[in-house]
Structure 1
Amino acid sequence: MRTISVITPIYNPQPEYLLAAHESLQAQKLPPGWTWEWLVQEDGNTDVAEVLLPLDDRIKHGTGRHGGVAITRNLALSRASGELVKNLDQDDLLTAGVLARDIAALTENDGVHWTTSRVLDLMPDGKLVGFDNDPKHGVLEPGDVLKHWQEHNFRLPVHPTTLCIRRDLAVMLGGWMAVPGSDDTGLLVAASVLANGFFDETVGLHYRKWPGQESAAGSKHYEAVEWTARMNLINERAKALQNLWSTVAGRWMLTP
């Protein structure tokens, strides 16, 4: 069986949200020959997720020192056995068929090494809210995402929390970037410089908006000095990768 590894960092979870995330994963139907594993990695050592979630051999629990979301995701990455790695935050919901679509995007398009999908915000009242500026369905060439991000005040054209990426590319880039917030942006931007990506116009995630989320409006996530520092670092790394790209005739020896 081929495996797609779903990575979920856990910290002080809302039980109903985590259980809903599990239900959305359990409902996924994968292509023949594929299975999923769920790397549930706690940022700390309380075993809270293991208490909340049902027994399932596909759920692989892990704990560690409290170190923040990027470190937590990378500890899960170290345990992932799948050739593909999919992000799922503890309070979000996968839509029906998204894992199958991710697998198709990464196995049926030559040279594609990461994929994202359309997102709808899930509001506290249950309403779903979309966006008007999604890119066209299909392949994203190296540099497309970075250029848009640089020209739109560090706003991405695709949502990084929907990322599904080849594990070898994620590992080569050091996993999720070690910054306090925007670690998923750091990984996506770096990957988008080195390899073709894919955007699926079908909604792949319901992104829950609620007051307790780490990136809620008005939270420390948007503190100006820190935000500027991490955006500058993500941008600097991306430009360094672009320069390195040009020294190897514009291509990397990445294999499917």
Structure 2
Amino acid sequence: MPTLTVLTPVHDGGHTYLRELHDCLAGQRLPGGWRLEWVLQEDGRTGSPLAAVPDAPWISKGTGRQGGAARARTLGLARATGTLLRCVDADDLLPDPDTLARDIEVLIDRPGYGWTVAPCLDLLPDGSLVPGPYDPPPGPLPARALLDGAKRGEMPVVGTTLTARTGLVRLLGGWPALPAFEDGALVLSCEAVSPGWMQSAPGTLYRKHPTQHTATADFRDEQEARLRVEIAVDRAEALHASGWRWTE
């Protein structure tokens, strides 16, 4: 049975909204014959975040040495059995029950495409939703559209809207060892070696709250923020220059 794997990194103390995400994923309506797998990977070995959701056959729980979200994502990748892979952060949600079905349908209908992304809506504490400022138009993404935006400081999409063919993610080595923006870096690398599709419907509700990683002083350090993007851009540029293209 074809499977879509959702991969979620979570650390101890960062699982406040994890049960809500569980319920959201459990309510997803996949196309006929498709199965959902949720790989839940703790960034650490306490076991506390994993206990926040019930055990079920469709959920794969794991722990590992603490090292940040990028390491946790890549450790979780080892357990992914799906042909398609989607990352959803522990404090975020999917906008509607058909979100993952749209991801599947885009890539099934377009076998030459390695990945798809979608608009992201900020979910504010009062429940209101705010769209992103740089969403590209729906349809096939022009070559380098995301890379050029990142170089301008206007990354067009949020990395956690990415659904990619799992084999492509593995070929690219998973997520680079960055303290943040590792999800955006993977999107830029996918763009460098494979065509991608921008969806019209939102793909993620990005929850804004005071304890999120992106609200910390470390994340907002300007020097590190520039360096994170530079590393991701340099890798993507090197992939573009290599001329290598992904084929399934």
Matches within 5 A, 1:159-238: 159-216=158-215, 219-238=217-236
Q: How far has the Cα of 1:233 moved from its partner?
A: 1.2
CA distance in 2, matches of 1:14, 1:149: 28
Query: What SS does structure 2 have at the residue aligned with 1:38?
Result: strand
Aligned to 1:91: 91
Structure 2 unmatched runs, 5+: none
Aligned to 1:119: 120
AA of the residue aligned to 2:87: N
Any conservation in 2 of the 1:87–1:164 contact (CA below 8 Å)?
yes
Query: What SS does structure 1 have at the residue aligned with 2:86?
Result: strand
Query: What SS does structure 1 have at the residue aligned with 2:229?
Result: helix
Aligned residues, how many? 247
The Cα offsets for residues 53-103 of structure 1, whole Å up to 9 and x where unpaired, read as: 112110100001111110000000111000111010000001221100000
Aligned to 1:239: 237
Query: What SS does structure 2 have at the residue aligned with 1:202?
Result: coil
Aligned to 2:31: 31
Greater strand proportion: 1
Q: Once the two structures are aligned, what percentage of the paired residues are identical?
A: 38
Aligned to 1:12: 12
Query: What SS does structure 1 have at the residue aligned with 2:143?
Result: coil
The Cα offsets for residues 113-141 of structure 1, whole Å up to 9 and x where unpaired, read as: 11111111111111111134321111113
Aligned to 1:41: 41
The Cα offsets for residues 132-179 of structure 1, whole Å up to 9 and x where unpaired, read as: 4321111113322112222x22x2111111111111110111101111
CA distance in 2, matches of 1:13, 1:167: 29
Q: How far has the Cα of 1:13 moved from its partner?
A: 4.1
Any conservation in 1 of the 2:175–2:186 contact (CA below 8 Å)?
yes
CA distance in 2, matches of 1:149, 1:52: 36
Q: Which moved more, 1:69-78 or 1:51-60?
A: 51-60
Query: What SS does structure 2 have at the residue aligned with 1:80?
Result: coil
RMSD over aligned Cα, in angstroms? 1.4
